[in-house]
Amino acid sequence: MKYFLVISLLFFVSTVIFSQNGYREYTWGMTIDQVREKSADLTQKQLVRWASPQNAIMFLYNSEFSSTIPNPLSYETGTITTYESKSNDIIFYFLNGILISAEITFWQENILTELRRQHGNVTPLSASFGNYRFQTATWNREANRIIVWEINAPLEYVTYIDKNWLNPLMNRTMTIFRNQRDESRSRLD
């Protein structure tokens, strides 16, 4: 019994010590100024597209959806801002000035193979919104982050998201979605 307890404790400690709490040297919870210290060319940009939270919920809860995928960002009450470091080729997402995500873009690199090697094999989902066709996959095994991959050839996006921010948002989104679905179905006689 003591042997099992010691092994379990060592596993837990190593998981906490070696788990990522951000992306590389950028940790969740950093302020815009703290990120700017590491990326001096950080400039604010207009939030044009950020599909990663919706892609994560679509991938993780795929069996529950028939057509419409709820967007967790529609339930976020804080202000999300986007900053870019062109020298590091990273887009950062901040919630009320606090780092919650980092996104990198690849051009025709088949980065999914490397992600599978590093984080485990997953089968991507294919989806489309109008003329926009893409594939996406999500890894949700790490303690402090969710990793979302998306390809719309030739571009691939890999987004690292603060799990402590996104998980409660996804849970709230799914609770609302399920309640609305059940309410609609309850009208049957």
Instruction: Classify residue 61 by its DSSP letter.
Output: T
Instruction: Tell me how far apart the alpha carbons of residues 94 and 32 are, in angstroms, rounded to a whole number.
Output: 8
pLDDT tens string 8-19: 333 443 333 344
Q: Rounded to 5 degrees, what angle do the CA atoms 69, 177, 46 make?
A: 50
> What is the tally of structural domains in the chain?
1
Q: Find the domain containing 93 and state its range.
A: 2-185
pLDDT of residue 20: 63
Residue spans of the chain under pLDDT 50: 3-19
Cα dist. 18→10, 43, 122 in Å? 12, 31, 22
Q: Note whether 138 and 123 are within 8 A (CB).
A: no
- Whole-prediction pTM: 0.85
